[in-house]
Structure 1
Amino acid sequence: MLQRNNVPGCRMRPFRRAVLRIPLALLAAPALARAQPAWSPSQPVRVLIPFPAGGTMDPVVRIAQQAVQEDLGQPVVIDYRPGGATVVGTTELQRAAPDGHTLLMVANSFAANITLRPNTPYNALRDFAPLVLATVVPHVLVANPAVARDFPGFLEAGRKPGGGLTYGSYGIGTSNHLGGDQFKGLARLNAIHVPYTGTTQAYPDLTSGRLDFMFANLPDVLQPVAAGQLRALAISAEARAKELPNLPTMAELGFPLVLSDSWFGLICRAEVPAPARARLEAAWRAALLRPDIRGRLEEQAFTVLAKPGEDFGADIRRYARTYAEVIQANGIKVE
Structure 2
Amino acid sequence: MPLSRRSLPSLALATGGLAKAQAQPAWAPSQTMRVIIPFTPGGTMDPVVNIVRLALQQELGQPVVLDHRPGGATVVGTQELLRAPADGHSLIMIANSFAANVTLRPSMPYNPLRDFAPIMMATVVPHVLAINPSVARDFAGFVEVARRPGAGVSFGSYGIGTSNHLGGEQFARLAGLNATHVPYNGPAQAGTDLMGNRIQFMFANLPDMIQPVQAGQLRAIAVSAAARLPQMPDVPTMAELGFPLVLSDSWFGLIARADVPAPARARLEAAWVAALTRPEVKARLEETGFTILAYGSERFGTEIRRYTETYAQVIRAANIRVE
TM-score, normalised with respect to structure 1: 0.94
Match for residue 92 of structure 1 among 67, 80, 83? 80
Q: For residue 10 of structure 2, give the secondary structure of its aligned residue in structure 1.
A: coil
Contact 1:33 1:274 in 2 (8 A): yes
**Helix, strand or coil for the counterpart of 2:304?**
helix
Change (3 A) 1:138 1:18: same
Report the aligned-residue RMSD.
Answer: 1.3
Give the CA deviation at 1:16.
3.2
After TM superposition, give the deviation of residue 95 of structure 1 in Å. 1.2
User: Where in structure 2 are the equivalents of 1:208-223 lying within 5 Å?
Assistant: 208-223=196-211
Q: Per-residue CA shift, 1:40-89, capped at 9, x if unaligned?
A: 01111110000111111111111011111111111111100011111111
Q: For 1:281-300, what aligned pairs fall within 5 Å after superposition?
A: 281-300=269-288
Deviation at 1:20, TM superposition (A): 3.4
What is the rounded CA distance, in whole Å, between the counterparts of 2:3 and 2:25 in structure 1? 40
- Residue 125 (structure 2) pairs with residue 137 (structure 1): yes
Q: Using the TM superposition, give the Cα deviation of residue 316 of structure 1 relative to its aligned residue in structure 2, in angstroms.
A: 0.2
Structure 1 residue 96: Cα displacement: 1.0
Shift of 1:21: 4.0
**Partner residue, 2:46:** 58
Provide closer, same or farther for how the CA distance between residues 252 and 193 of structure 1 changes in structure 2, counting only shifts above 3 A.
Answer: same
Paired residues of 2:60 and 2:271 also in contact (CA < 8 A):
yes
For these two proteins, the number of residue pairs brought into alignment is 323
Contact 1:132 1:265 in 2 (8 A): yes
The structural deviation recorded for 1:28 is: 5.0
- Name the residue aligned to 1:150: 138
The answer to whether 1:233 aligns with 2:214 is no
Corresponding residue for residue 3 of structure 1: none
> In the TM superposition, what are the counterparts of 1:1-335 in structure 2 within 5 Å?
15-17=3-5, 20-27=8-15, 29-335=17-323
* 1:264 match: secondary structure: strand
Q: Percent of aligned pairs with the same residue? A: 66
Distance 2:4 2:219 in 1: 38
Distance 2:264 2:313 in 1: 35
Q: Distance in 2 between matches of 1:96 and 1:216?
A: 35
- The DSSP-based 3-state class of the residue aligned with 1:46 is strand
- What SS is found at the alignment partner of 1:234? strand
Amino acid at match of 2:213: V
Q: Distance in 1 between matches of 2:245 and 2:5?
A: 22
Question: Residue 306 of structure 1 aligns to a residue in which SS?
Answer: strand
Equivalent in the alignment of 1:7: none
Q: Could you tell me which runs of 5 or more consecutive residues in structure 1 were left unpaired when the two chains were aligned.
A: 1-12
Would the alpha carbon gap of residues 19 and 142 (structure 1) be closer, same or farther in structure 2, given more than 3 Å must change?
Answer: farther
Deviates more, 1:158-167 or 1:248-257: 158-167
Give, in angstroms, the shift of residue 30 of structure 1.
3.3
Distance apart, 1:24 and its partner CA:
4.0
Distance 1:15 1:248 in 2: 34
The amino acid of 1:51's aligned partner reads F
1:26–1:310 contact (8 Å) kept in structure 2: no
Alignment-mate amino acid for residue 310 of structure 2: T
Deviation at 1:301, TM superposition (A): 1.1
Distance 2:247 2:133 in 1: 24
What per-residue deviation string (whole Å, max 9, x for no partner) do you get for residues 9-34 of structure 1? xxxx9643355343444425332111
Please tell me the residue identity of whatever aligns with 1:314.
T
2:143 touches 2:177 (CA, 8 Å); kept in 1? yes
Unaligned runs of 5+ in 2: none
Deviations 1:105-155 (A, max 9, x none): 000000000000111111000000000100000000000001110000000
CA distance in 1, matches of 2:61, 2:14: 27
- Mapped partners of 1:223, 1:164: distance in 2: 27
Q: Contact conserved, 1:25 with 1:127, CA < 8 A, in 2? A: no
Secondary structure class of the residue paired with 1:27: helix
Paired letter, 1:46: R
